[in-house]
Homo-oligomer: A and B are copies of this chain.
Amino acid sequence: MAVWPEEKVFKDPVHKYIYVQEPAIWDLINTKEFQRLRRIRQLGASFFTFHGAEHSRFSHSLGVYEIARKIIHQFERNGFSDWPREEGLLCMCAALLHDIGHGPFSHSIETVFGEHHEAWSCRIVQGDTEVNRVLRRIDPSFPDRVAAVICKTYPQEIVVSLVSSQLDADRMDYLLRDAYCTGVNYGMYDLERILRVIRPHRGDIVVKESGMHAVEDYLTSRYQMYWQVYFHPVTRSSEIVLRNIFARAKAIYDAGDGETLPFLPEPLRRLFEGRLDVEHYLALDEALVQAAFSLWANGKDEILSDLCKRFLHRKLFQYATPTRMDEALLERLRESIRREGYDPDYYLQVDFPKDLSYDVYRSGAASRKKPIYLLKHDGGLTEISEVSDIVRSISGTQYGRHRIYVPERILEPGNPYITAETAEWLKGE
């Protein structure tokens, strides 16, 4: 390993600079697996809604590392005894690598094919990869320990919390970065203020009581981002189109009709067959997927071709927001769509924001993630929504509405295939 004369930096629009002070971190960044994250966008198809959302998981991963580094540095500077100093490097490695298993348009692919990026992250860390070799050079046990942190089985819970909890480096970076790139600056919160109020406490990260307003600010920013960006109906629409492309292509392949797929490189073939290995998983990136869409758009299958063009040219589905779900009316709509010549399996989708992997703040059993605790003067802990009306109001929020996505033509006024009753229903309030 080379001499390491001085810290290295990356210029970053969100954190100004990202400081690399450990050779291992530098080497991890330079692995081909990490470099691949440059070809995977952080927000999938959200760029159709917010054109600035073009940033990659590479940028975000550097940011998560930087926030983890800052938190650890702050804990060490203040000499907090509940922070296990010897876990610093592990924690920074896990922060850097926690998204290494993300594929192109993860949410859509995961829904259609049942892959899980977290599991892939572990496979990449533990498999025959450059990342694995760098980690082993630190210590032979490092790959397994990093994987354990990512998969939340590491015994030192505080290390897991720093990478994955309601107040983790992952969210802290993506909220700021997504806000910065989309221009939705109401998603900004004061990171330095949050860093000042958190501290390690008996194996967990808690917030000192006087920092309650800082956390409220962070959670309301997050709430704004969920409803303005992550759950935006146009983004949902693009994800529906994406899912239906994958589903259709797989159906064609499964039907043994491979000829109608004018381009099917090995990684996609293996994805369809459910037998991806690390090597081919890593070869899956957005360039490959979008190139496939381009070529499929010229193929013979009309549905696949149409869906690919919709994606490439941003002719997404439109949506209606009916006041209530009504199976009978929905069935009638399905029938109308069929009569217009569309296969409702690919051209009608009922959607409810809840099913996203994102979630707003939830306390207790409602969330898979650890809630946020305030540390009182007397050393006791209070879950924040017990004392903050504003947090309670956010965590109970259920604004989500059922939406029905269909091709634009279906919703045009005066469409003869749609009955007056259905039209009335679709109009919503």
Contact = CB atoms under 8 A, between A and B. Distances in A.
Interface of A: 6-7, 9-14, 16-17, 30-32, 35-36, 38-39, 47, 50-52, 54-56, 58-59, 62, 78, 180-186, 188-190, 192-193, 196, 213-214, 216-217, 220, 223-224, 227-228, 263, 265, 283, 285-292, 294-295, 309, 312-314, 376-378, 389-390, 392-394, 396-397, 429
Nearest to A387: B399
A180 B289 CA distance: 29
Contacts of A189: 186
Contacts of A312: 32, 35-36
Nearest to A291: B291
Contact of A59 (B51, B376, B394, B397): B51
A294 B267 CA distance: 11
B13 A182 contact: yes
B62 A58 contact: no
A46 to B, nearest CB: 11
Contacts of A313: 31-32, 35
Contact of A390 (B180, B291, B295, B390): B390
A35 B314 contact: yes
Nearest to A48: B38
Nearest to A51: B59
Contacts of A56: 47, 51, 54
B314 A30 contact: yes
A38 B51 contact: yes
A62 to B, nearest CB: 7
A213 B190 contact: no
Contacts of A429: 376-378
Given A291-B287, A393-B392, A186 B17 contact: no
